[in-house]
Amino acid sequence: MPSLPDSAQTLTAYAQSHQVSPDEALRLAEAFRVFSQASDELSSAYSELQNQVARLTEELAMANGALRQQYQEKEALTERLSLLLDALPAGVVVLDDSGCVVQVNPAASHLLEGVKVGAGWTAIQAEVLQPGDTPGEYLCHERRLAIAVTPLDSAGGRIVLLHDITEAQDLKAQAERHQRLAAMGEMAAQLAHQLRTPLAAALLYAGNLENTALSPEAHAAIAQKTVARLKHIERLIQDMLLFARGEALGREQFSVTDLLAELTQDFEPLAQNSHVRFIVNDESAGAVLMGKRKSLVSALTSLLENALQAVIERDHRERREDGCVEISVQREEGGLLLMVEDNGCGMDKVTSARLFEPFYTTRSDGTGLGLAIARGVVRAHGGSIDVVSSPGVGARFSVSLPCLNS
């Protein structure tokens, strides 16, 4: 087949020389036009494609440069973090999602005596860590460690932080002993002052018992008063001994529900005898504490008795009978919040600020040691205690305690 002309000018000559009809010449012209248009569009698209490839190549080069810079920065950050991790005085152990050690810094290796990468954390706990008296504290090779475990959300593992608190605990114990010794002088003076009055009264009553002219009823009344004075002296001495010794934390595990049940058994009869409503609101959701249950019961009983006396005083003063004492427990982040509330006479700011001071009391028959001992018990269990009150409104004691299943 003869080749087609390559331009519009030669198309007519081609048609004449090959004796092509006018219709065929028109079709050839239209085909040539379409071919030329498609060729132009193809050339334009190819040129645009080349430009896009050039732009993408430039953008890719810039992105690679940025990624390379980020990688270098992350490498430098990783190196700095590694140096920082090695220099930290606290021990750091990194665990994977299966609980195996994947990284350990020198401080942790020293505290745990050569823990190896790949070891299981559960096995390490069983072999070298012994639970201490306070939740979160452990004994390890005659050292006392505070251990906190934090999850790694992105990687699915955990970070274990180990703090050697041996020296800090020793210093704290020494400071507490020094504080108690410093208080001994004031304690002796206060004790002598507080013992003088009930002891004199007891001696007076005892002397009257020698009077044979008294009737049996008078003898019984005097004997009852003597016993009451002697019991007050005994309570004062017991409180003083408890305060002087301090509180040693036990290792008993017990539920908050059982604690509240024992408190209710001890305190509810006192409230009923005083015509005061007693409310227990337990939202502990199965929380478990570790320590000495009897000591906590005694401390919380002191708070309840203090609230009861405030309600009785208000009811007597204002001749009301709507007194109420409530103890409630609820979960909070990291532990429990116990609250003892009353609608009693309340306290001013000066009284509230001094309420936990040893020998400070607003009651004529009080020793001034009950709330000081309660604060010592709460602190020994790793908690804190405070009070909010206003005259005529009542008071609220708040006790925060760590729990084992927080």
Strands 137-140 and 130-131 come out as: antiparallel
User: Span 201-229, mean pLDDT?
Assistant: 78
Q: Which residue, 37, 71, 105, sits at the end of a domain?
A: 71
Of 71, 100, 117, the residue at which a domain comes to its end is: 71
pLDDT for the residue 247: 53
pLDDT at 2: 47
Same domain? For 138 and 201 the reply is no
- Taking the CA atoms of the chain, what radius of gyration do you get in angstroms? 43
Residue 17 has pLDDT above 70, yes or no: no
User: Measuring CA to CA, which residue among 162, 174, 34 is closest to residue 109?
Assistant: 162
Residue 365 DSSP code: T
Q: What pLDDT is recorded for position 126?
A: 83
Q: What is the mean pLDDT of the chain?
A: 80
**Which among 143, 164, 185 is the end of a domain?**
164
Question: 242 and 302 share a domain?
Answer: no
CATH number, residue 398: 3.30.565.10
* pLDDT tens by residue, 241-260: 666 665 555 678 899 999 99
Task: Determine what percent of the chain is predicted with pLDDT higher than 90.
Answer: 12
Do 391 and 307 fall within a single domain? Answer: yes
CA distance 262 to 45: 89
Confidence bin at 4 (pLDDT 50/70/90): very low
Q: What is the pLDDT of residues 352-371, one digit of tens each?
A: 888 888 777 777 666 677 78
Does 260 lie in the same domain as 398? yes
The amino acid at 189: A
Number of domains present in the structure of the chain: 4
Range of the domain at 128: 88-164
pTM attached to this predicted model = 0.50
The CA distance from 380 to 383, in Å, is 7
230-236 mean pLDDT: 71
Where residue 1 falls among pLDDT bands split at 50, 70, 90? very low
For 63-83, how does the pLDDT look when each residue is reduced to its tens digit (9 = 90+)? 888 888 887 777 777 677 666
Higher pLDDT, 129 or 201: 129
Q: What confidence category does residue 396 fall into, taking pLDDT thresholds of 50, 70 and 90?
A: very high
Same domain? For 304 and 398 the reply is yes
Q: Does residue 23 lie in a domain region?
A: yes
As a whole number, mean pLDDT of residues 121-131 equals 84
Are both 271 and 387 inside the same structural domain? yes
Strand boundaries in 333-393, DSSP class E: 335-342, 384-390
Q: Is residue 15 part of a domain?
A: yes
Q: What does the pLDDT read at residue 15?
A: 58
Distance, in Å, from the CA atom of 326 to the CA atom of 282, rounded to the nearest integer, reads 11
> Considering all CA atoms of the chain, what is the largest pairwise distance in Å, rounded to the nearest integer?
169
Residue 264 lies in a domain: yes
Q: What angle do CA 361, 364, 368 make, to 5 degrees?
A: 25
- Asked, for residue 2, whether it belongs to a domain, the answer is no
CB-based contact 100:79 (threshold 8 Å): no
| Least reliable range by pLDDT among 6-10, 204-208, 270-274 | 6-10
What CATH code is carried by the domain that includes residue 158? 3.30.450.20
Q: State both tokens at 333.
A: 């982040």
Asked if residue 275 and residue 388 are part of one domain, the reply reads: yes
Residues 196 and 102 in one domain: no
Residues 255 and 159 in one domain: no
CA 351 remoteness from chain centre:
29
Confidence of residue 149 (pLDDT cuts 50, 70, 90): confident
Whether 269 and 378 map to the same domain: the answer is: yes
Asked, for residue 210, whether it belongs to a domain, the answer is yes
pLDDT (0 to 100) of residue 26: 77
Within-domain flag for 82: no
308 vs 294: which has the higher pLDDT:
308
pLDDT higher for 50 or 194? 50
Helical segments of 319-358, H only: 349-354
Judgement on whether residues 283 and 394 belong to the same structural domain of the protein: yes
Q: What is the distance in angstroms between the CA of the first residue and the CA of the last residue of the chain?
A: 94
Q: What average pLDDT does range 272-286 have in this prediction? A: 90
Judged against a pLDDT cut of 60, whether residue 269 lies above it is answered with: yes
**Do the domain assignments include residue 1?**
no
Q: Is residue 76 part of a domain?
A: no
Task: State the Cα–Cα distance between residues 57 and 174, nearest whole angstrom.
Answer: 71
Same domain, 387 and 284: yes
Measured CA to CA in angstroms, residue 360 lies from 6, 126, 187, 355, 394 at distances of 117, 47, 11, 7, 19
